[in-house]
Amino acid sequence: MSKPALGRGLGALLSGSPATMTTAPAAAMPASAPAPLPDARDRVRRVPLDRIRPSAMQPRKNFSDDALKELADSIREQGIVQPLIVRERGGFFELIAGERRWRASQLLKLPEVPVIVREADDRAVLELALIENLQRENLNAIEEALGYSQLAEQFQLTQEQIAVKVGKSRAAVANATRLLKLPLSVQGYVREGRLSVGHAKVILGLSDERQQIIATERALKDGLNVRQTEGLIAKLSARGGKITSETAKTKVIVPIDSNIGRLEEKLREQFGTKVQLKYAHGKGAVEISFFSDDELQSVLEKLGVNAD
């Protein structure tokens, strides 16, 4: 399966068109239409591999050894089809995009690699790295959240501005960054894929860090699914965070109607936050949770309510 092409966001940040490794021979051009001068920004250069450095702005921290070996095998057979994007920094070249290709090239001990040199400030580098990884689904949920947080804190961007730049909804950005409120140990489980984002969002319903850790360990130990974890969180909240033998044995809340769970999931997707549907004999309530002013604003907009 071929890899998806980079989106328009990348081109906009790099301010250039796709590069080509070669140009057509002059003889192939009509005499009346001389070939235009190549854009220096898109000129492919070959530089020594040891002059390239990774970027501290790279949000992706985990690289699969097996995936890198597969990429290295492909490069050995086909070469590097897409040049690395770099910027000059203190006598070296710092990566803007293409760290996987750079790492795979190191495995092959290539003497040099093709690059395109661009001028870009730190914010552009971080935005580009985020967009490239998000489009290729390379980031785990915590890496994605840290990237958004860095854009917000280091460059004073709002969640709305971040959402526009990376092609996500504001609710998606808000929900992602909320994961950073979890204890580091719980974030580690999300990084490793042992705890799903769905579980993590439910655990955020507990305000106390110790309670969150206890709930996480219980969910992992008992293999609870998201619905079962919601039941555990409800029990913990009702008991002030204390796990009793009864709480430990309670693994699931069975809805009165089998459609309730599906309706709740649709409502969560619609509002981008935790939604609880309480139903009994044709009566009940819909409880929509929010965890920031931005999330509240997003909910109000979806409901068509003007806060002014």
**Residue 151 forms part of a structural domain:** yes
Same domain, 56 and 126: yes
User: Would you call 99 a catalytic residue per the annotation?
Assistant: yes
pLDDT of residue 188: 92
Read off the pLDDT of each residue in 97-104 and give the average, rounded to a whole number: 87
Domain count of the fold of the chain: 4
pLDDT of residue 168: 85
| Token pair listed for 294 | 């931005």
Average pLDDT of the chain, as a whole number: 76
pLDDT of residue 10: 43
Give the closest residue to 259 by CA, choosing from 285, 279, 288.
279
Confidence class of residue 285 from pLDDT cuts 50, 70 and 90?
confident
**Residue 97 forms part of a structural domain:** yes
φ, ψ for residue 46, nearest 5 deg: -110, 125
Q: What is the pLDDT of residues 180-233, one digit of tens each?
A: 999 999 999 998 889 999 999 999 999 889 999 999 999 999 889 988 899 889
**Residue 15 forms part of a structural domain:** no
Confidence class of residue 133 from pLDDT cuts 50, 70 and 90?
low
Same domain, 52 and 114: yes
Q: What is the pLDDT of residues 5-19, one digit of tens each?
A: 333 344 444 444 444
Confidence class of residue 239 from pLDDT cuts 50, 70 and 90?
low
**CA angle, residues 227, 231, 236, in degrees to nearest 5:** 140
Same domain, 297 and 219: no
Same domain, 109 and 158: no
Of 150, 181, 212, the residue at which a domain comes to its end is 181
Confidence class of residue 259 from pLDDT cuts 50, 70 and 90?
low
**Residue 129 forms part of a structural domain:** yes
Same domain, 59 and 91: yes
pLDDT of residue 249: 45
Same domain, 249 and 225: yes
Confidence class of residue 50 from pLDDT cuts 50, 70 and 90?
very high
Give me the CATH number covering residue 86: 3.90.1530.10
**Residue 31 forms part of a structural domain:** no
Same domain, 64 and 112: yes
Read off the pLDDT of each residue in 43-61 and give the average, rounded to a whole number: 85
**Residue 170 forms part of a structural domain:** yes
Read off the pLDDT of each residue in 248-260 and give the average, rounded to a whole number: 46
Q: Three-state DSSP class for 217? A: helix
Q: Are strands 52-53 and 92-97 parallel, antiparallel or unpaired?
A: parallel
Same domain, 100 and 62: yes
pLDDT of residue 138: 67
pLDDT of residue 280: 63
Range of the domain at 177: 140-181
Same domain, 81 and 91: yes
What's the chain's length in residues?
A: 308
- Which among 70, 94, 99, 127 is annotated as catalytic? 99
Same domain, 148 and 225: no
Tell me the CA end-to-end span of the chain in Å, nearest whole number: 50
Same domain, 291 and 202: no
pLDDT of residue 294: 74
**Residue 162 forms part of a structural domain:** yes
Q: What is the pLDDT of residues 155-178, one digit of tens each?
A: 788 999 888 888 889 999 999 999
**Residue 35 forms part of a structural domain:** no
Q: Are strands 45-48 and 52-53 parallel, antiparallel or unpaired?
A: unpaired
| Model pTM score | 0.52
Q: What is the pLDDT of residues 30-47, one digit of tens each?
A: 443 444 434 455 688 899
Same domain, 115 and 158: no
pLDDT of residue 55: 82
